[in-house]
Amino acid sequence: MVFSRFWYLVVGVAVAGALFLSYVAVGVTNSNSERASARLLNATSVAVSLYMKDDAARRANALAPLAVNPDIGDALRKAQTAETVKSVDSPVRDKATVALRKYRELAQDFVTFDALWAIDVHGRVVASDNFEKPMATEGFELGGYPVVADALHGYIRDDTWLMGDELWRIVARPVETEAGAAPVGAIVAGKKVDDALARDVVEHTGAAVVFYAAAKSLVKATPPSSETHLVRLAAEDFALLAKFGPEDGYQEQGRSKPTLVRRESGYDVRAVFTRIPGEAWDLGAGFAVMHQYERIGTPSDFYSRATDEEKRGVPLLLLAGLALAAAAVGFLLTGVEHASPLAGFKRGLAELANKGNALDVLKPSTYRGPYKELAALVNDALDKVASTAGVDRGPADLNEVLGPLPTEPTMSAFAIRGGSVPTPVKAPLPVRAAKAPQTAEERTVPKPRAAPLAADAAPKIFDEETRVMDRGSEFADEPNVDQTSSESVRVFDEPTAVTDDATKRSKLGQVAAGARVETPRATGLDDEETDWRRVYEEFLDMKTQLGEPVEKLTYEKFRGTLQRNKDALVARHGCSRVVFKVYEKQGRAALKASPAK
């Protein structure tokens, strides 16, 4: 089952690789989105700053008609010599106020002003329009602002004021009544930073902008395509301003790096904070351009956020073909390496169940993988059931166990009482034969049936009803052991004990004829242990010669197998000892056990 398991490994690696690439794609997409957002925010912040400067210049140019208005110039010129604003004639101041109002109303079509002031050379407000401060109040003046002072000295300036909780965009230009003469005063115009101004910024720059001052969000505006609930600055967001260091550039250069403001479900909101130059700079006034971009959390987010057109671009037929091909290969390998061995095991069980078949055990060596162990367990179960029930499972096939038998018995030259003893038929020799016997104790003679011998008939060497049980068990490199009943005679290259009376008489006859007769091996525990160690060494040699693994076969495990088979034969036949022999069976090393008394 190597190929199917290898295929499982290939499929697992492919799935892991696909997931790895998917998560890499998530990281790359988020990184690219973050970089693109940073570039967009920096460009948008610069665009808003340039738009506000251009708007200030446009508003300053729009004040040119007021700077040459005679009513305003007359009021400012008379205020130069007056001790107080009240000392200026009311009709003169009223004309200046009317001139301011009319101009503001007429200019609504191309530029809007929320307030207009006429300032004399002392910085006092001589006339105003659309401003709540009563002009009669003593001491109301604007000359202390740098933008007004510059205008009184002949310069056109713009600035941003924080009045109360409102940001004002201020422009000022000088009022000159004579060419080459010093200005007699200045015109100052103010525009609140309100929703209308923010919408103008959004319309011309496409930015989502928030104006703030004193750590408080004042005005915000977003493009129509933006999520308005995401583009906002909460009170805790302004804590970021205090955390900006020199490397962030906010305190020195007036513009921060792109900063993560909040993380919503599937979105990141980043902002660039820009300080507004002028009077409001020291009051923490500024604007923030914000941008929200999608953040991919898991690979499945790609599909949920893909458009129909993007989904149609996926080669579904190709992917489906690859999936079917992979499944077909997996089914094929599974069928070859799983279904085929199972079918073979089923056929073996069916043959075992067929009463007309001589097979009474499974052959584990013919199966692969786990079915080999299952076959051995089935054989053990059959043995246990038969032993418990006292059922004789019938004779085995002697030709398969001992090799082919001769048609006519060969008569031995050593006969007793006129009879003859046939030459015993040896079992098939292993590929690597055991070491040749060197001593008399290592040889023995065949054992005939224990029956009275007649002068005219020689005893049979093998009984037709002899039962040889091939257990076929394979217990994690444990040897196979063939057990023979006490009534059978086995032909071994190793000694087999002979004890019955008929054999003794045959033995005496052979002695009389000059044959060498060996005495049985001692039955002591030390001799049996020595004999078992010899069998163990022969078994290892046989397995090595046949290319079988021997790393897991220890002598303790081997001895346990011999002991269990000995105990079974002793209990079944009442013998005193068991002789084991190593032989080859179906290309594997195995053992045969012969009971002896």
Contact 507, 497 (CB under 8 A): no
How far is residue 351 from each of residues 58, 239, 361, 566, measured CA to CA in Å? Answer: 106, 86, 9, 30
Hey, which of 142-146, 226-230, 364-368 has the most confident mean pLDDT? 142-146
Q: With 90 as the cut, is the pLDDT of residue 172 above it?
A: yes
Q: With 70 as the cut, is the pLDDT of residue 90 above it?
A: yes
Q: With 90 as the cut, is the pLDDT of residue 189 above it?
A: yes
Confidence of residue 151 (pLDDT cuts 50, 70, 90): very high
Hey, which of 295-304, 397-406, 508-517 has the most confident mean pLDDT? 295-304
Q: Are strands 480-484 and 208-213 parallel, antiparallel or unpaired?
A: unpaired
pLDDT (0 to 100) of residue 375: 83
Instruction: Name the percent of the chain lying above pLDDT 70.
Output: 72
Contact 395, 469 (CB under 8 A): no
What letter represents residue 341's amino acid? P
pLDDT (0 to 100) of residue 407: 45
pLDDT (0 to 100) of residue 358: 55
pLDDT (0 to 100) of residue 229: 62
**Chain-centroid distance, C-alpha 181:** 83
Hey, which of 125-139, 193-207, 503-517 has the most confident mean pLDDT? 193-207
Hey, which of 272-276, 364-368, 468-472, 522-526 has the most confident mean pLDDT? 272-276
Q: With 80 as the cut, is the pLDDT of residue 53 above it?
A: yes
pLDDT (0 to 100) of residue 459: 35
pLDDT (0 to 100) of residue 535: 92
For residue 289, count other CB atoms closer than 10 A to its CB: 29
Hey, which of 22-31, 298-307, 329-338, 346-355 has the most confident mean pLDDT? 22-31
Q: Are strands 588-596 and 577-585 parallel, antiparallel or unpaired?
A: antiparallel
Confidence of residue 357 (pLDDT cuts 50, 70, 90): low
Tell me 271's DSSP state. E
Q: What is the mean pLDDT of the chain?
A: 74
Q: With 80 as the cut, is the pLDDT of residue 206 above it?
A: yes
pLDDT (0 to 100) of residue 223: 80
Of all residues in the chain, what percent are helix, strand and coil, respectively (each to 5)? 45, 15, 40
Place of tokens 């087999």: 496
pLDDT in tens, 411-436: 433 333 444 444 444 444 444 444 44
- Which of 274, 193, 279 is CA-nearest to residue 241? 274
Q: With 50 as the cut, is the pLDDT of residue 275 above it?
A: yes
Hey, which of 84-88, 114-118, 249-253, 391-395 has the most confident mean pLDDT? 114-118
Confidence of residue 170 (pLDDT cuts 50, 70, 90): very high
Q: With 50 as the cut, is the pLDDT of residue 440 above it?
A: no
Q: With 90 as the cut, is the pLDDT of residue 527 above it?
A: no
Mean pLDDT of 324-338: 80
Structure tokens belonging to residue 306: 């893909």
pLDDT (0 to 100) of residue 340: 74
Structure tokens belonging to residue 112: 């809007």
pLDDT (0 to 100) of residue 439: 44
Contact 80, 182 (CB under 8 A): no
Place of tokens 């446009």: 58
pLDDT (0 to 100) of residue 150: 92
Structure tokens belonging to residue 571: 């209990």
Q: With 80 as the cut, is the pLDDT of residue 489 above it?
A: no
Confidence of residue 472 (pLDDT cuts 50, 70, 90): very low
pLDDT (0 to 100) of residue 269: 85
Sheet with strand 577-585: strands edge to edge: 468-470, 480-484, 588-596, 577-585
Q: With 70 as the cut, is the pLDDT of residue 554 above it?
A: yes
- Which of 55, 77, 301, 18 is CA-nearest to residue 170? 55
Q: With 50 as the cut, is the pLDDT of residue 393 above it?
A: yes
φ, ψ for residue 103, nearest 5 deg:
-65, -45
| Topology of domain 63-192, CATH | Beta-Lactamase (3.30.450)
Confidence of residue 537 (pLDDT cuts 50, 70, 90): very high
Q: With 90 as the cut, is the pLDDT of residue 171 above it?
A: yes
pLDDT in tens, 493-518: 333 333 344 444 444 334 333 433 34
Q: Is the pTM of this model over 0.85?
A: no
Contact 126, 93 (CB under 8 A): yes
The contacts of residue 13 (CB under 8 Å, 6+ apart) are none
Choice among 60-64, 230-234, 583-587 with the minimum mean pLDDT: 230-234
Confidence of residue 355 (pLDDT cuts 50, 70, 90): low
Mean pLDDT of 232-251: 74
How far is residue 21 from each of residues 16, 24, 32, 160, 313, measured CA to CA in Å? Answer: 9, 5, 16, 52, 19
For residue 197, count other CB atoms closer than 10 A to its CB: 21
